[in-house]
A and B are shown apart, each in its own frame.
Chain A
Amino acid sequence: MRPRPQTGRKLADLAVKVLSGVFAAVALLLLGWILYTVLQRGAAALNWAFFTELPPPPFMEGGGLANAIVGTLVITALATLIGVPLGLMTGIYLAEFGSHSWIAGPVRFVVNVLMGAPSIIIGVFVYGLIVLRFGFSGYAGAVALAILMLPVVARTSEDMLALVPNTLRESALALGAPRWRVTFGVVFRAAKAGLITGVILAVARISGETAPLLFTAVNSPFWPDSLGEPTPNLTVTIFQYAMSPYTNWQELAWGASLLITAFVLFMMLAARFVLRTRSI
């Protein structure tokens, strides 16, 4: 048998190896480019006034986005309060009762679909459901973000609860504990780190969201007095200020971008850290 020619094969192999290395390098390079831009331009805009003052009029130097920072924190907190319990309970149902129920299959399917649903659709939905009846409000924004959190929390908590060995459940039940105590007292404790990770990832996901807030919470240049009216927030502010022709507003938008990016990446790393220390 004649040996197959070697050079062509080896060249192709080398070419692909080089190409794949180049692509991986490009991915890292893009990440570096984006992070560098945000850091460089954002750091220039951050100062004391940024965190304490209201937005300035066009062309006036100074001022800050204190109102939007407060608004974003409040909306995110409220969304978490709505979205996490709902998602968690859904996750519990799927993990603990799922194999006995006809709705578990469809629910799992819908959770996956919702996870991939464009966030702007959720904005349009909440606009039709709440805003058309009660007007623009921070509440509507929080509901939209909560709907985005729900599938993330449901999915991760189902996965995490399913990882808990059944022997744990069985031994607790054998001691005569009712089902709900087994779940909250034993299974939850075993899956704690994973559940926290899911919540952190969900918060990270919504804190950078803009599209669902565009026509629910909208934006406002004033302090948020109540969530019943248009509520200032960082992401919509970034959108509006970046699209404006005023350089001082664009600078503030960069500052807000840095804040949001740092927060999201911090949450990501926190989630990894928590998961590493988990008990099961």
Chain B
Amino acid sequence: MPSQGYLPPGPPTPDAARPSRSRQSSGDVLFRLGTGACALVVLILIVAIFAELIWGSRFAMREFGWRFLINEDWNPVRSIYGAASVIYGTLVSTAIAMILAVPVGLITALFLVELAPPRLSRVVSTGVELLAAIPSIIYGMWGLFVFAPWLANYVQPGLQGTLGFLPFFQGPTTGLGMLTAGIILAIMILPFITAVSRDVFRMIPPALKESAFGMGATTWEVTRKVTIRYGFKGVIGATLLGLGRAIGETMAVTFVIGNRYQIKASLLEAGATITSSLANEFSEAVGNELFQSVLIELGLILFVITFGIQAIAQLWLKRVSRSMGGGA
């Protein structure tokens, strides 16, 4: 966020203001310990989350072992559970979302930074921020009652008519399924990718772009050869953060994916993701120790994946912002 003061913000260096230990009053010792304890709570929290998820999934781990990850069967009646179908659903819906959202988000960010007049850029920026603020469950409502029927009536028949020979587009055109979930996920992470790439593109030194323009390059050439190349690493970080969001997104997906535990090539078929199965099945699992444990293990798998993505994204962005000399 920009500072509007007469003093430049600069890097935080409170050390200069820190009195030597000998002059610290007892109030200050308490102050430091108190705030430090709260910071410590954050560290304890992440350890506790991991511990709780691992402990909670012990029955499922004992029962199914590693086969849990590759077993496709999901049959609560016979107490057979495998995570393969929901992992597949998570990966496919996320992949659709990324394929759609990354290019569109990047080009929208270019529009905001390079092409649009400042006033229009502000309007679109605000719109994108509002899109990001709309809660997931509202996307779910809109997806289920408005967007899915619209897809079923106007888009999917045409899709099947032209690309129906591909296995991806065969099957029912109900509007609910993997493709719809992927598109809605794309809409949800689009503002995120747009905003982060916009900030990355803004960090590019104007002199670089101006010299390219001075050589007679068109806007697109400057964008492609200077802006994107210079901001490429930052954009990868943005993509990683968007990926983490898409994988963990719950409510909107639960509304529109159809909730069937199956692996089908067709994107029009219903499916299930890790998050949708958690949201749907938890109430069914009350009192059933193994089923609960299976769901908690699904949570653990999801957390390990998102933690990994977040960790890589954090380290990556830290490195990039150091090399670009600013905070991305």
A59 within 8 A of B: no
B227-265 Cβ-contact flags toward A at 8 Å (1 or 0): 000000000000001001101111100110000000000
Contact A13/B27 with A24-B116, A165-B7 known, Cβ cut-off 8 Å? no
Within 8 A of B (CB), among A10-51: 10, 12-13, 15-17, 19-21, 23-24, 26-28, 30-31, 33-34, 37-38, 41
Contact A154/B7 with A20-B110, A124-B278, A208-B137 known, Cβ cut-off 8 Å? no
Contact A280/B218 with A24-B108, A128-B56 known, Cβ cut-off 8 Å? no
Q: Please measure, in the bound complex, the distance between the C-alpha atom of A140 and the C-alpha atom of B252, giving whole angstroms.
A: 23
In the complex, the chain B residue whose C-beta lies closest to that of A30 is B187
Contact of A20 among B31, B40, B107, B295 (CB under 8 A): B107
Contact A16/B31 with A98-B12, A117-B303, A165-B7 known, Cβ cut-off 8 Å? no
A91-119 Cβ-contact flags toward B at 8 Å (1 or 0): 01111111111011011011111101111
A188 within 8 A of B: no
Stretch at the interface among B73-81, B121-129, B159-167: B121-129
B321 within 8 A of A: no
B251 and A239: CB pair below 8 A? Answer: yes
Q: Please measure, in the bound complex, the distance between the C-alpha atom of A180 and the C-alpha atom of B18, giving whole angstroms.
A: 11
B219 and A118: CB pair below 8 A? Answer: no
A90 and B42: CB pair below 8 A? Answer: yes
Stretch at the interface among B47-55, B60-68, B168-176, B204-212: B47-55
**For this complex, into which size category does the number of interface residues on chain A fall?**
35 or more
Contact A23/B14 with A17-B220, A90-B35, A97-B32 known, Cβ cut-off 8 Å? no
B28 and A119: CB pair below 8 A? Answer: no
A169 and B17: CB pair below 8 A? Answer: yes
What chain B residues lie within 8 Å of A209 (beta carbons)? 135-136
Q: Please measure, in the bound complex, the distance between the C-alpha atom of A17 and the C-alpha atom of B221, giving whole angstroms.
A: 11
Contact of A235 among B108, B137, B309 (CB under 8 A): B137
Q: Please measure, in the bound complex, the distance between the C-alpha atom of A265 and the C-alpha atom of B108, giving whole angstroms.
A: 22
* Residue count of chain B within 8 Å CB distance of chain A: 104
Is chain B's binding surface mostly helix, strand, loop or mixed? helix
B191 within 8 A of A: yes
B135 and A260: CB pair below 8 A? Answer: yes
A257 within 8 A of B: yes
What chain A residues lie within 8 Å of B313 (beta carbons)? 116
Contact A95/B39 with A125-B49, A238-B137 known, Cβ cut-off 8 Å? no
B302 CB, min distance to chain A CBs, angstroms: 6
A214 and B19: CB pair below 8 A? Answer: no
B135 and A129: CB pair below 8 A? Answer: no
What chain A residues lie within 8 Å of B91 (beta carbons)? none
A89 and B46: CB pair below 8 A? Answer: no
What chain A residues lie within 8 Å of B40 (beta carbons)? 103, 107
A242 within 8 A of B: yes
In the complex, the chain A residue whose C-beta lies closest to that of B11 is A162
Contact of B310 among A95, A103, A112, A194 (CB under 8 A): A112
In the complex, the chain A residue whose C-beta lies closest to that of B25 is A178
A220 within 8 A of B: no
Contact A257/B134 with A114-B42, A117-B248 known, Cβ cut-off 8 Å? no
Q: Please measure, in the bound complex, the distance between the C-alpha atom of A21 and the C-alpha atom of B115, giving whole angstroms.
A: 9
What chain A residues lie within 8 Å of B218 (beta carbons)? 9-10, 12-13
In the complex, the chain B residue whose C-beta lies closest to that of A96 is B14
In the complex, the chain B residue whose C-beta lies closest to that of A238 is B137
In the complex, the chain B residue whose C-beta lies closest to that of A9 is B218
Within 8 A of A (CB), among B118-149: 123-124, 127-131, 133-142, 144-146
A118 and B42: CB pair below 8 A? Answer: no
What chain B residues lie within 8 Å of A110 (beta carbons)? 42-43, 45-46
A27 and B124: CB pair below 8 A? Answer: yes
What chain A residues lie within 8 Å of B141 (beta carbons)? 38, 238, 242, 253-254, 257
A86 within 8 A of B: yes
Q: Please measure, in the bound complex, the distance between the C-alpha atom of A268 and the C-alpha atom of B127, giving whole angstroms.
A: 12
B200 within 8 A of A: no
What chain B residues lie within 8 Å of A268 (beta carbons)? 129-130, 133
B266 within 8 A of A: no
A244-259 Cβ-contact flags toward B at 8 Å (1 or 0): 0000001001100100
Contact A208/B35 with A37-B146, A113-B310, A113-B311 known, Cβ cut-off 8 Å? no
Q: Please measure, in the bound complex, the distance between the C-alpha atom of A33 and the C-alpha atom of B131, giving whole angstroms.
A: 11
In the complex, the chain A residue whose C-beta lies closest to that of B305 is A118
Further 5 A-B residue pairs, CB within 8 A, beyond A23-B108, A89-B38, A179-B18? A16-B219, A21-B115, A97-B35, A103-B36, A128-B296
23 residue pairs A–B, Cβ–Cβ below 8 Å: A9-B218, A15-B220, A26-B104, A37-B142, A89-B38, A90-B38, A97-B14, A107-B40, A107-B43, A116-B309, A118-B250, A118-B303, A120-B275, A120-B279, A124-B56, A124-B296, A180-B31, A208-B135, A210-B137, A210-B251, A239-B254, A260-B138, A264-B135
- On B, residues with C-beta under 8 Å from A are 1, 3-5, 7, 9-10, 12-19, 24-25, 27-28, 30-32, 34-43, 45-46, 48-49, 52-53, 55-56, 104, 107-108, 110-112, 115-116, 123-124, 127-131, 133-142, 144-146, 187, 190-191, 194, 218-221, 223, 241, 244-245, 247-251, 254-255, 275, 278-279, 282-283, 295-296, 299, 302-303, 306-307, 309-311, 313-314
| 8 closest A-B pairs by CB | A208-B135, A118-B248, A89-B38, A162-B12, A180-B31, A20-B111, A93-B35, A13-B218
